[in-house]
Amino acid sequence: MEQAAGAVVLAAEVVNELPVPAIVYGLGFLVAFIALAFVTYSYRNVANRHRSKGGSHQGGQH
């Protein structure tokens, strides 16, 4: 019975350390999120820009 308990304690102490500190992951995700927000922001008002170039087309026909 002691061997089983000892194996459980040893298994509980196995720790897989991260290759870089945890703050680096947080900063990486923050930078990626800001980059994606910038890409999304760059598409603002696109529909209005194309709507004004209609010329003779009125009514939304292709």
The tens digit of pLDDT for each residue in 2-54 reads 676 666 666 677 788 889 999 999 999 999 999 999 999 998 888 787 766 65
| pLDDT over 60 (residue 60) | no
The DSSP symbol for 45 reads T
For the record, the structure tokens of 18 come out as 């991260």
The whole-model pTM stands at 0.53
